[in-house]
Amino acid sequence: MTNWRAVLWGFVAGIVFGLLAFAIPVIGHVGAGLVAGGVAGYLAGGGLASGAWHGLLAGALDGIVLALLVSPVAALLGGLGGGPVGSLVGGLGVVVIGVLVAAVFAIDSAIGGAIGVLFSDERQTTGTTVER
């Protein structure tokens, strides 16, 4: 079962670290995805698959929201430069690229989620919760 609180906190961490990542363009964004997934996996607990699932959801949500926020701006700029066709191409182009970005965010966030669950207090090994 999905722990949406963990996914939401992972999403928030992804947005915050994603904004900070512009200081280090490529490495920073990959790191932001790992941190977002790590937060989601840590809070969700469970096994590696659970951590990866929650990290994947947090990263995908980050990518989707980013695409939805950027596409109207691209449509507006495309409309200014190329009329209605430019607006359509600009907006749809950003949505398509946004889907690809969401997939990339989801992959590294899933890896981060699997790593994050290793540090969780609610990690499960053979069906029992590990006490620390």
pLDDT in tens, 114-132: 999 999 877 665 455 545 4
Q: How confident is the model at residue 102 (pLDDT cuts 50, 70, 90)?
A: confident
Q: Would you state the torsion angle of the CA atoms of residues 114, 119, 121, 124, taken in this order, to the nearest 10 degrees?
A: 40
Question: Exposure string (b/e) for 37-63, b if CB count within 10 Å is 16 or more?
Answer: bbbbbbbbbbeeebbbbbbbbbbbbbb
pLDDT in tens, 52-91: 999 999 999 988 887 777 777 777 777 777 777 777 777 7
